[in-house]
Amino acid sequence: MEKEIELRRGEGILLRSPLRFEVLSGEVESWGVTIDETSVDLEGVELLIVSRSDVSKLKVDGSFGRISNPIPEWWLNLPEKIVGKKVMLIGRVDSGKSSTMLYFINKIVSIGTNVGIVDSDIGQSDLGPPGVISSKTIEEPILHTKILKPDFMYFIGDKTPNGHFLPMIKGSIEALKAVRSSTVLINTTGFVDGGAARALKRFKAEFLEPDIVIAIERKEGALDHIARSLPKDIKVYKVKSPVGKSAKERSYRIAVRRSLLRKFLEGSKTLELDLSSLELRNTYLFTGESKPDYIPFLETVLGTKILWLEESPDMLIVLTEGLPDRRKIANIADLLHKEVKVGTVQHYNGLYVGLLGKGRCLGIGILESIDLNKKSVRITTPVHERNIEGLAFGYIRFNANGEEIGTRGMNIP
């Protein structure tokens, strides 16, 4: 429903898509650049609208909240200090990392300097699809990073960095290499507490070598443990979060991921791919030799029908109709003196996948079904079949509407 609202100088609103927006009188900015009108249908886009005039009158259609002091002082002071620098942003979930990047991007490009961005926040992606590290070089003001298409993508396939530290660092390095600017902004996940989080931030800083880290804190000292874990030659700016007390609802974050997934799946069709001709990542399947003779004995031990079984010097891989008791799996591992990886075919139905070509992620897809004997899969993806050279298995499962229906655990082959 359309509403007419009035803003005084320095006052603002945070407007959420789907939205329609028009300035009736006065002058306003969004994320640091002048804006007159716009419309956005993609869900999950937020516009920070701030009045530059004594009084500005707007017509808006979309959900919004008023903000009395929308621009923190450090947003005004820091952009000029980071031109020509590599900058990493750290902070908890909903601390304002994405908002800060948007404002800084527009302020930097408005002085005629391009800026590279690396989005490694796989749980709440702003540039690429969920579970993907992406990067882009930006040369002109933007409305929002979610509307853009990345120049580079590296598929992780999960919404958490847990269990994926090496791919997270590798993907961030490759994304950074693809940027063509001396000014770079690197967004990170909200994973900041505990030994694993400290290690990930430390090693990411060691490999990416930022000149500056901006630690965005809701409470003073809340990120001191991370700041003190970083290499000593990195300049750290500790700043107060620009976000108010209310954080984004979990349901809203889920809806945003679903919206981005649908965006990057537009124009999809179903392909049947021969797995034996592809490079496979994030899976142990087809790394051993088929052992059909083992099946009758192991079906008796595990108490379930076996659909696929293969063995390699270090591992036994088994796919079953039903997931056996863990103790039975452990007994077989003790007997064979090797790892035993067991999963069900259902773990792969609806699985999130990345399509690979020329050493990078070309796009995403959803695995509809897998035929183990034919070593083939049916995948829904917008990527053209002739460009596909590899397939990266993910860890989230989706239905046809883009809703999460389950996971594929780290121990599932």
The 10s digit of each residue's pLDDT in 311-362 is 999 999 999 988 888 898 999 999 889 999 999 989 999 999 999 998 899 9
Element of type H or E holding 133:
strand 132-138
Question: For residue 333, with 0-12 CB atoms within 10 Å meaning exposed, 13-18 middle and 19 or more buried, which class applies?
Answer: middle
Beta-strand ranges (E) seen in 282-386 are: 289-290, 306-312, 315-320, 339-344, 351-357, 360-371, 376-381
Tallying the residues shown for the chain, one arrives at 413
Specify which residues 281 forms β-bridges with.
392
- Per-residue pLDDT, 3: 92
Map out the domains of the chain with their CATH numbers: 2-67 (2.60.120.1030), 73-262 (3.40.50.300), 267-413 (2.40.30.330)
Share of residues in the chain with pLDDT > 90 (%): 87
Residues 366-404: tens digit of each pLDDT: 999 999 989 999 999 999 999 999 999 999 999 988 889
Residues 169-203: tens digit of each pLDDT: 999 999 999 999 999 999 999 999 999 999 999 99
- Residues 254-260 have a mean pLDDT of 88
> How confident is residue 247, by pLDDT bands cut at 50, 70 and 90?
low
- Per-residue pLDDT, 387: 94
Q: How far apart are CA 318 and CA 295, in angstroms?
A: 9
> pTM score, two decimals?
0.95
**Cβ pair 74, 239 in contact under 8 A:** yes
In this predicted structure, the answer to whether residue 246 has a pLDDT above a threshold of 60 is no
- Per-residue pLDDT, 323: 84
**Cβ pair 133, 118 in contact under 8 A:** yes
- Per-residue pLDDT, 227: 95
Residues 199-242: tens digit of each pLDDT: 999 999 999 999 999 999 999 999 999 999 999 999 999 999 98
In this predicted structure, the answer to whether residue 87 has a pLDDT above a threshold of 70 is yes
- Per-residue pLDDT, 110: 93
Specify which residues 49 forms β-bridges with.
13, 30
* Cβ contacts of 259 within 8 Å, gap of 6 or more: 42, 43, 44, 402
Residue 244 carries which side chain, given as an amino acid letter?
A: G
**Cβ pair 63, 16 in contact under 8 A:** yes
- Per-residue pLDDT, 26: 96
Rounded to the nearest angstrom, the gap between the alpha carbon of residue 96 and the centroid of all alpha carbons in its chain is 16
> How confident is residue 68, by pLDDT bands cut at 50, 70 and 90?
confident
**Cβ pair 353, 397 in contact under 8 A:** no
- Per-residue pLDDT, 245: 59
- Per-residue pLDDT, 168: 97
Rg (CA), the chain: 24
In this predicted structure, the answer to whether residue 108 has a pLDDT above a threshold of 80 is yes
Q: How far apart are CA 317 and CA 153, in angstroms?
A: 30
- Per-residue pLDDT, 395: 97
Average pLDDT along the chain: 94
**Cβ pair 238, 222 in contact under 8 A:** no
Question: For residue 119, with 0-12 CB atoms within 10 Å meaning exposed, 13-18 middle and 19 or more buried, which class applies?
Answer: buried
Share of residues in the chain with pLDDT > 70 (%): 99
- Per-residue pLDDT, 251: 77
